[in-house]
């Protein structure tokens, strides 16, 4: 079997759906899977998502996860001495994450899981693609510098200046798109593949989507969680 590469957008606690999509992909240890952040919050089983990722890495699968804004909100809630960051995270789906772990404070999430989140890079790059949670700030000379951190986690502009990233395309999640919007966007320099898995019932949304990077095919798994 030839080596394949895939990217999957925001999972948001939909562990059962993630596992089903991986089964559909028939992911092999010779394949590479890029995960675009936002593994936690909103959905019912954030713990299960992280456990699945860690287990597969331990088993030798080539998973390459990156950092999302929801991981950022969780870690800020832990590090902050005030309550604003904690309240904001809880209101953005953090309460569901605590429930999945059976704890009342984010500090009580298993240390191994927090260490994993803290270790995640803001972006990854191949010859043809940049993988980032949200987007890049092309108004600065180096979009990958510390000055571009906010854009990597929060950008919604969809703007790309290929010359600043070696002619690569950007692959991201963060901005929920309908399936039609995702398919149309595959012709662009910014490929957005978050279909809002955690929102079943919304028109055109509610699926976890994988992008086959070699063929441009979309593999769509409806939410089963």
Convert the pLDDT of each residue in 117-166 to its tens digit.
999 999 999 999 999 999 999 999 999 999 999 999 999 999 999 999 99
pLDDT at residue 171, as a whole number: 98
Res 225: pLDDT? 84
Cβ pair 40, 70 in contact under 8 A: yes
Looking at the predicted structure, is the pLDDT value of residue 1 above 80?
A: no
Q: Pick the closest to residue 152 from 134, 165, 164, 168 (CA basis).
A: 134
Per the structure, the complete domain to which residue 125 belongs is given by: 5-222
**CATH assignment of the domain containing 19:** 3.60.21.10
**Which residues are CB-contacts of 66 (< 8 A; sequence separation ≥ 6)?**
34, 35, 36, 37, 120, 121, 122, 123, 124, 131, 132, 133
What's the alpha-carbon Rg for the chain, to the nearest Å? Answer: 17
Per-residue pLDDT tens over the stretch 48-102: 999 999 999 999 999 999 999 999 999 999 999 889 999 999 999 999 999 999 9
Written as six digits, the tokens of 81 are: 């001495």
Q: Which helix (H) or strand (E) holds 222?
A: strand 218-222
Chain length of the chain = 225
Domain count, the chain: 1
Matching residue, tokens 């999972």? 11
């Amino acid at each position: 079997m030839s080596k394949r590469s895939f990217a999957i957008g925001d999972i948001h606690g939909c562990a059962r759906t993630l596992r089903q999509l991986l089964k559909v992909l028939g992911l092999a240890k010779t394949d590479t899977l890029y995960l675009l952040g936002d593994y936690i919050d909103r959905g019912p089983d954030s713990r299960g998502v992280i456990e699945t990722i860690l287990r597969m890495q331990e088993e030798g699968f080539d998973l390459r996860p990156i950092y999302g804004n929801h991981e950022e909100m969780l870690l800020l809630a832990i590090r902050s001495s005030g309550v604003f960051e904690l309240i904001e995270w809880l209101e953005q789906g953090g309460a569901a994450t605590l429930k999945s772990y059976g704890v009342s404070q984010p500090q009580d999430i298993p240390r191994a899981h927090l260490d994993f989140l803290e270790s995640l890079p803001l972006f990854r790059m191949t010859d043809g693609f940049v993988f980032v949670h949200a987007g890049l700030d092309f108004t600065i000379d180096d979009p990958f510098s510390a000055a571009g951190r906010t854009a990597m986690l929060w950008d919604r502009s969809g703007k790309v200046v290929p010359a600043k990233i070696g002619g690569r395309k950007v692959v991201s999640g963060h901005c929920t798109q309908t399936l039609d919007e995702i398919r149309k966007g595959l012709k662009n320099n910014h490929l957005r593949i978050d279909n809002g898995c955690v929102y079943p019932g919304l028109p055109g949304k509610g699926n976890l989507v994988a992008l086959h990077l070699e063929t441009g095919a979309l593999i769509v798994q409806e939410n089963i969680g």
